[in-house]
Structure 1
Amino acid sequence: MKKVLFVPLDERPCNYDFPYLLAKGTDVDLLRPPIELMGDMKRPGDTEGLWRWLLERAGEADGAILSLDTLLYGGIIPSRLHDMTTEQGAEKLRRLRDLKRKRPELKLFAFHLIMRCPTYSSSEEEPDYYADWGAEIHRIGRLRHLEQLGLISGEERRELQELDRRLPADVLADYLNRRAVNTSLNRLALEYVADGTIDFLIVPQDDSAPYGWTALDQRMIRAAIAELGIELRTYMYPGADEVGCTLLARMVNAFHGRTPAVYPRFSSRKGPFLIPSYEDRMFDESFKYQVTAAGGIVVDSMNDADLAMLVNLPGEKMTEAAYQPAATAGYDVMRNVTELVEFGDAAMRRWGKPLAVADVAYANGGDLQLVRLLREKGLLFRLAGYAGWNTSSNTLGTVIAQSMLYLIYGDTNEHRDFLALRYAEDAGYCSHVRKLVTAGPVAERGYTREKVDGQQGEIAAIVREHLETFVRERIDGAGYRVVIDSCRLPWNRMFEVGLSVRCVAEET
């Protein structure tokens, strides 16, 4: 049994629980910090306690998967709110060198985000002033980037001048000073890769876009990666909340000396060339990075593959899962979900290869039509993996990790439990129940999408009731039943859900 220390990006289930659940039933003991050391949305985790936990347990570990944002700032949201200096951050990071000197054989994988810049005005996950000035901060970043590239129009230049006049100088200074500190520490982490302290680093691009403050920082970090000659040990691509799963798969593949080959089959010819919502590049480029980051390779032939991946994509611009079925050419004409499912069913019989499903046709939820067709074919609990949540990259990292572990450990009870969780959460909650409950009980009781009555209040109980109906009517069958043991709303809002789910085999 290998022991791997894991410091998550934050305390939400996608970060704290998903990698842990994937490691269950394997030969890897994934050790997490006590939840008490983690933060709570804007309240940062106990960084000194987290460092103590890491350093005290390093002597018993074979590897470590570390969120540098958590070790530096206390989590993903605190990384956007802190008042740390570059020098203070550098002092914390130096502990990694001390750790590696004491345990040079420790396999150390890390990830470190580039700070996002949302397009909208909301302080829910940003500094308080972002409620008033968020859209303007984002717009100024985009226009200044275009200006640097010589692509700004005369009208846009006048808009930039007006925004510079209106936006309070102290607001922009605070925002840019924090970005500068974060980027300096991103750059320092690259040096730790160059000197061998960090064996492998992912720099995820959270809610990225082609132009703006985040894109400017990405360009700087990309240049530094090339300058240091660490392209094979530092990957930068869209994503964030899935990276713990990705690095778990990479570490397990490394322990077993495996490089799994993945063959993708797309529902749409145009889909691989579309830029998914919240990302900055064509889907196909992110797909290659996600597979490679998890320790695999992409192949063009089923005969060469260890794993077949059905990729459910839109045929045109991606829309939100809450708006499905989207009656547009991109969803009704320019893609073929029926053929995708028929191919998957035939492929399992013809080639006998494990089959997984990356459900990225919509943002922020699974495709209910696809799930229905998979159920009709009896495939739901025969898959090597399934995911369909949040961004395209969040989904990819999750399903790729699950299916790569399946290649090693097979059809375990824990594997089926995770499949059941994905169907209940990605299809059930994200694509159906969230919208239903938000428009009904949440609004009727005077709550909002951003604030309800606690993690385990009346709204969470209503969500559970609806989810139990969903899985009974739309998931159960083919010898399996999904049981929801608990339900909570981790950040006291409707965006994410925390579920404890089991897959129970039915008597036949």
Structure 2
Amino acid sequence: EVEGALRLTKLSQQFAQELEQCYAAAEQTEESAATCTTAVHSEDALVVAAVSQVAAAEVAHTEKNYRELNIRRRAAEAQVLSARNWSSLYELAPAFWQQYLGFRRRKDEINELLLEAWTKRAQTEACGGGFLALCLDDSKTSGLNLWEAKFLQERLNSCSSASVGVGTDETATLLLARAVCGHSSLEIVWPYAGAEEQVGRYEGKNLAQVLASQAQWLNAVLLPEGQSGPGSAVPQIFIYAPWQSQLEACSQADAKADLPEPLWSAWQQKVAASLEAGKQVYIADLAYANGGSRQLVSWLIESGAVAKIAGYSAWNTLGNALGTILAWAALASWRRACPKFKASPAEQARLEKEQRRFLLERLLDDYFYQTLIRPQLSAKVGGAFVLLGKEQQLALESEILTQEKSYLAQLVQAWPEKKLSPSLKVELPWRRLFEVGLEVEL
């Protein structure tokens, strides 16, 4: 099996080189058709069948058939990317593989039509400042979707009102904040030099690239640390980035993704200094996927900083958590700047209450549920994605509610002067443990 996989990998690498030559030749002809034929010979029937379907192509690079060119390219790229694991491709029936590629081609055609319509709209006054976000979710550093995104971005380079970016679940929040705020400024505080190069478990780009694409969707200016000034009202986004690489939150016994000393102590001091200066501090807990850092949240609670920070996010992927905290900070900052808010103590009290409520929900969901409760219950039922029976669902919801009430009682002690007596609702909306519905009332 190993020898076969190595042989197939070598063949696929040869195919990749020939494919690049095919692209180079095709792209040199802007007005006339170019014929590019790639032939790969192999004794392995499956490789021959897979390659022959996409390798030999006569490409006319004109605007009329631009869409067809992209579709053929993507089909060819599918073979190149699959070359990373040809042994797995062996196990796929050819009919299944063709059906899968067919689904992706159909999606590509829809995206192409959408882009054509958007480009025409953006050229008219009817556009009205709209923005089109094409989202990639749960990506790796290689995959068909990344190649598709590359071609889509090429089409969008001439359109400033659209872009391809990382993340999906948080995108609606970013676009809502863009629509409400219009423009935002956020100060980014990194934990160490080079943190921006870290790549999350479910992102095809590094942290700096994810941040840049989400800032574009938000229409936000990102200020380097210290540039907002001592008395500035610009929110600070403290990014708690992975140290070596991002791990799953349920497997952090060795805390290898957490900041080591002396970086950890320096980071705590920075947060404490900003809080002491009255800054609006938002924490993006990104060291682990699908949950938060035990080291970080334990310090927030034990030090009392949890009652002073403006926001916290750690749910699901790096992109999900980061996008949520950016939109949250932008919306709250916009609200504080409104004349109506400044002139109304009642509005100020209302915002403070909603900020605290959402902070509690994020901690109960992002940290306590995803990091502590869900792994424990998933082990009992056979996994977080197992479809639950009705009685099983009700029993688990009751167990989650009991545990979360205990954690909530621990959290509200950080605000002794408020004498909080919150209520809590819990549900499993999709009849599985992966996501939980949490609602705090203060």
- TM-score in same-fold range (> 0.5): yes
Alpha-carbon offset, residue 408 of structure 1: 2.1
Q: Give the direction of change, closer, same or farther, for the CA distance of 1:164–1:318 in structure 2 (3 Å limit).
A: closer
Matched, 1:174 2:174: no
Q: Given the alignment, which residue of 366, 372, 379 partners 2:305?
A: 379
- Trace 1:479-494 onto structure 2 (pairs within 5 A): 479=416, 481=420, 483-494=422-433
Amino acid paired to 1:193? W
Q: Given the alignment, which residue of 312, 325, 329 partners 2:240?
A: 312
- Name 2:333's counterpart in structure 1: 407
- Name 1:196's counterpart in structure 2: 121
- Name 1:273's counterpart in structure 2: 197
Alpha-carbon offset, residue 385 of structure 1: 2.2
Q: Given the alignment, which residue of 151, 155, 161 partners 1:233?
A: 161
- Trace 1:299-448 onto structure 2 (pairs within 5 A): 299-304=223-228, 306-328=234-256, 330-331=257-258, 333=260, 336-350=263-277, 352-410=278-336, 411-440=351-380, 442=381
- Trace 1:470-485 onto structure 2 (pairs within 5 A): 470-474=407-411, 476-479=413-416, 481=420, 483-485=422-424
Q: Is the 8 A contact 1:322 1:432 kept in 2?
A: yes
CA RMSD of aligned residues (A): 2.6
Q: Give the direction of change, closer, same or farther, for the CA distance of 1:171–1:200 in structure 2 (3 Å limit).
A: same
| SS of match in other structure, 2:258 | helix
Q: Is the 8 A contact 2:275 2:308 kept in 1?
A: no
Q: Is the 8 A contact 1:320 1:364 kept in 2?
A: yes
- Trace 1:134-149 onto structure 2 (pairs within 5 A): 144-146=79-81
Q: Is the 8 A contact 1:193 1:233 kept in 2?
A: no
% same residue: 24
**Partners of 1:283 and 1:432 in 2: CA distance:** 26
| SS of match in other structure, 1:241 | coil
Query: 1:198-243 CA distances to partner (integer Å, 9 max, x unpaired)?
Result: 62011111111232221221122112212xx11x211212101001
Query: 1:396-439 CA distances to partner (integer Å, 9 max, x unpaired)?
Result: 11111111111122443222211111011001101111112223
- Name 2:399's counterpart in structure 1: 462
- Name 1:207's counterpart in structure 2: 138
| SS of match in other structure, 2:389 | coil
Unmatched tracts of structure 1, length 5 or more: 1-139
Q: Is the 8 A contact 1:207 1:278 kept in 2?
A: yes
Q: Is the 8 A contact 1:270 1:316 kept in 2?
A: no
| SS of match in other structure, 2:306 | coil
Query: 1:146-180 CA distances to partner (integer Å, 9 max, x unpaired)?
Result: 48xxxx6xxx6xx63x6555422221222111111
Alpha-carbon offset, residue 332 of structure 1: 5.3
Q: Give the direction of change, closer, same or farther, for the CA distance of 1:170–1:366 in structure 2 (3 Å limit).
A: same
| SS of match in other structure, 1:170 | helix
Q: Is the 8 A contact 1:238 1:393 kept in 2?
A: yes
Query: 1:254-284 CA distances to partner (integer Å, 9 max, x unpaired)?
Result: 2xxxx32222112233321111111111111
**Partners of 2:253 and 2:77 in 1: CA distance:** 32
Q: Give the direction of change, closer, same or farther, for the CA distance of 1:291–1:308 in structure 2 (3 Å limit).
A: same
**Partners of 2:111 and 2:330 in 1: CA distance:** 29
Q: Is the 8 A contact 1:357 1:399 kept in 2?
A: yes
Q: Given the alignment, which residue of 283, 286, 292 partners 2:207?
A: 283
| SS of match in other structure, 1:380 | helix
Amino acid paired to 2:79? R
| Rg (Cα) greater in structure | 2
Amino acid paired to 1:212? G
Decide which structure has greater helix share. 2
**Partners of 2:248 and 2:258 in 1: CA distance:** 12
Q: Given the alignment, which residue of 166, 172, 181 partners 1:244?
A: 172
Q: Give the direction of change, closer, same or farther, for the CA distance of 1:475–1:217 in structure 2 (3 Å limit).
A: farther
**Partners of 1:143 and 1:484 in 2: CA distance:** 51
Q: Give the direction of change, closer, same or farther, for the CA distance of 1:399–1:163 in structure 2 (3 Å limit).
A: closer
Q: Is the 8 A contact 2:184 2:218 kept in 1?
A: no
| SS of match in other structure, 1:457 | helix
Q: Give the direction of change, closer, same or farther, for the CA distance of 1:165–1:485 in structure 2 (3 Å limit).
A: closer
Alpha-carbon offset, residue 182 of structure 1: 1.2
TM-score by length of 1: 0.62
Q: Give the direction of change, closer, same or farther, for the CA distance of 1:292–1:377 in structure 2 (3 Å limit).
A: farther
**Partners of 2:331 and 2:243 in 1: CA distance:** 30
Amino acid paired to 1:144? Q
Alpha-carbon offset, residue 142 of structure 1: 8.1
Q: Is the 8 A contact 1:348 1:355 kept in 2?
A: yes
Amino acid paired to 2:408? V
Alpha-carbon offset, residue 475 of structure 1: 5.6
TM-score by length of 2: 0.71
Amino acid paired to 1:186? N
Alpha-carbon offset, residue 333 of structure 1: 2.5
Unmatched tracts of structure 2, length 5 or more: 1-74, 337-350
**Partners of 1:435 and 1:266 in 2: CA distance:** 30
Q: Is the 8 A contact 1:268 1:335 kept in 2?
A: no
Query: 1:334-366 CA distances to partner (integer Å, 9 max, x unpaired)?
Result: 78344323212212333x331111111110111
Amino acid paired to 1:453? G
| SS of match in other structure, 1:331 | coil
**Partners of 2:253 and 2:215 in 1: CA distance:** 29
Q: Is the 8 A contact 2:306 2:414 kept in 1?
A: no
Amino acid paired to 1:396? L
